[in-house]
Chain A
Amino acid sequence: MKTKQEIIHLDFEKPLIALSKQISELEEKALKNGNSKIIIDLKNQYEKVKEQIYKNLSPIERIKIARHPQRPYPLDYIQSISPAWYELHGDRTGKDDAAIVGGLIEIDGQTIMAIGTQKGRNIKENQRRNFGMPSPEGYRKALRLFYHAEKFNFPIVTFIDTPGAYPGLEAEEHNQSHAIAMNLRELAGLTVPIIAIVTGEGGSGGALALGVANRVLMLENSIYSVISAEGCAAILWRTKDKASEAASALKITAQDLYKLGVIDEIIPEVEGGAHYNHNQTCENILNAIKSHLRELKELSPEELKTDRQEKFRRLGIFNRV
């Protein structure tokens, strides 16, 4: 989003909005009266409230930030971190799914295959991109691009921001399960460095199909879950109103996943979320990609493959008696 837009505020940010309104009103008056102490107090209070809100974001609040309509989407990151961007289209068997984008970028003279799920900014674009919910053809396009990267020895960077794989009639008929399963299996066998970054919503299998990587990173306010909080609440609590409880129970935030050892790094966002400052978030992402690529370049092709397979082989917590 190049043009400046008014930020859409989330409901839990309301106290802040009220305070800042009060401050600006008082500031206007203070210009006339010269009484600035009350303004300083208010500003201090504003900072305190701000810290309280943003430092203690609950899982359901993180979901809201992750789904924020002004949050940068994978194409925003891709286009900002690389001067070159050649999008490649189609699964070669009949469709080009716009919910998944992929193509060639360049970072520090290194050609990289960038692949991401892509939501739309407006109704029309969302119709085309299906709200970022890929069809089997999208995953097959991604698979074709994985093979392309493997052939030419390009590292792969994936950007994940999807509510999940599309649960539609045609998607089932075209074998959504198989498309996802194949990606999971084939990603495990590649010999190039793979970095996956969850930038917004990491919606279950639909996200994981781009997420079998040597390094899995998450933006500070992104989420990654086996099922949506609403879906889980509907099944286990028998009402969607309990989404907040479900969100907490499922452990879906970057911070929780880091503790569980499922992800390797949390990429910081600016206070309040990436939508407050696209450029800063893009820069943080670029730095993270660079540093992980540098480390992964030390590994041989065979080591890269083993590293990835062993990383996922270890995941799971159970008792052995």
Chain B
Amino acid sequence: MGLKDFFKTRQLKKAAKLQSQLSTNGNGHDLKVEPSICDDQLCVLWTKCQGCNELLYTSELKKNHSVCKHCGHHHRLTAQERIDLLTDYGSFLEIDDNILPSDPLNFKDLKPYKDRLKEAEKTSNSKEAIITGIGSINNQPVAIGAMEFQYIGGSMGSVVGEKIVSLAERAIEKRIPLILVSSSGGARMHEGILSLMQMAKTAGILKKLHEEKLLYVSLLTEPTFGGVTASFAMLGDILIAEPRARIGFAGRRVIEETIRQKIPKDFQTAEYLLENGQIDLVIPRQNLKPLVSDLIRLHSQNTKLKTGISPFSKIPLFAGV
């Protein structure tokens, strides 16, 4: 019996139970039938695949890093899940979690920005659109950051910019590789010009990192757009994307409005970018950690030759974090 059949049987049983309750009650009017409650409970147990609509047992889906086992669709990961996926168990130590958003412009559209921030914190269970810290990947220390799309579309404002710069500074200080996982709609409008300036701010620190000859691996996940793509996300020494992830500068609708014609369906997907020479690799999620780990290992060889010691062997991992 497949999962789908199992679910169907459950639904049938439930419907039968409801039916019997209704009939014992005589009329159905005063009986509050709230199937939505049942559905909500079921949602925790079951997830509908966004790729093939197949119903998946949630815990199994999570075990498979949120990749559908039927169609291979990569569901979005939260920032924390991403960190857990890439770093060694228990090795990650978050930094800069005391940097919190403010409302520098006193911005208000249909809702005040302050309220949006509070809401975002609730819905995403995250304090800002990025988590940064130091951890290890197969025992190789890294400075790693992952964006949280659930937090105002993973948009980059002052906090995201500051945390990325601060993380890159640690990477330089400790001479360890930088790994950034992006998932963002772009710059955050609610902080106006300050958000735009984060593009220059993050690109500026990456210039330093580049001059220090340290490895920066940029992982592009669904979706990465606008000011994030046009700054730190595209500046990796190695650019990796997840299958079918949409990556671009301008959004599809804006382009269609500008050129007044429909654009190809697979436009701005990871595979399309690979074909157009914009990224290095498209890698399924389960292979990500081994790949990143190997990339770090391969890039550490030169430094090893130069200095005589591995750059990773003598670094007190958590000192001064």
Contact = CB atoms under 8 A, between A and B. Distances in A.
Q: Is chain B a partner of chain A in the same complex?
A: yes
A208 B99 CA distance: 25
A172 B196 contact: no
A251 B195 CA distance: 12
Kindly name the residue among A168, A227, A245, A316 whose own CB sees the greatest number of chain B CB atoms within 10 A: A316
B109 interface: yes
Interface string B109-124: 1100000000000000
Contact of A176 (B200, B207, B250): B250
A173 interface: yes
Interface string B190-205: 0111111111110111
Contacts of A126: none
Size class of B's contact patch? Answer: 35 or more
A191 to B, nearest CB: 12
B203 A251 contact: no
Contact of A225 (B159, B192, B234): B192
Contacts of A245: 109
B28 interface: no
A185 B206 contact: yes
Nearest to A227: B189
Interface of B: 98-102, 104-105, 107-110, 157-159, 161-162, 165, 187-189, 191-201, 203-208, 210-211, 226-227, 229-235, 248-250, 254-255, 258-259, 263, 267-268, 276-278
B248 A316 contact: no
A320 B127 CA distance: 12
Kindly name the residue among B98, B191, B203, B263 whose own CB sees the greatest number of chain A CB atoms within 10 A: B203
21 contacts: A167-B258, A169-B255, A173-B276, A180-B199, A181-B230, A181-B233, A182-B234, A184-B199, A184-B231, A185-B204, A186-B207, A189-B210, A205-B187, A205-B199, A212-B204, A224-B196, A250-B107, A260-B193, A312-B197, A316-B201, A317-B191
Contacts of B255: 167-169, 172
Contacts of B258: 166-168
Contact of A313 (B108, B204, B229): B204
A167 B165 contact: no
A262 interface: yes
A318 interface: yes
Which applies to chain A's interface (DSSP): helix, strand, loop or mixed?
helix
Q: Rank and list the top 10 A-B pairs by shortest CB-CB distance, nearest first.
A: A167-B250, A184-B203, A316-B158, A317-B104, A236-B109, A188-B204, A177-B229, A226-B196, A315-B197, A177-B230
A211 interface: yes
Contact of B99 (A171, A184, A318): A318
Contacts of A315: 161, 194, 197-198, 200-201
Contacts of B277: 175
A235 interface: yes
Contacts of B226: 205
A308 B203 CA distance: 12
Nearest to B165: A313
Contacts of A86: none
A175 to B, nearest CB: 5
B104 A260 contact: yes
Interface string A210-233: 011000000000001111000010
Contacts of B108: 249
B235 A185 contact: yes
Interface string A295-321: 000000000000011001101111111
A260 B267 contact: no
A318 B162 contact: yes
Contacts of B197: 208, 262, 312, 315-316
B234 A181 contact: yes
B97 to A, nearest CB: 9
Nearest to B272: A173
B196 A208 contact: yes
A12 interface: no
A128 interface: no
A178 interface: yes
A250 B276 contact: no
A256 to B, nearest CB: 8
Contact of A226 (B98, B189, B203, B204): B189
Contacts of A313: 165, 201, 204-205
Contacts of B233: 177, 181
Contact of B234 (A177, A227, A236): A177
A205 B208 CA distance: 21
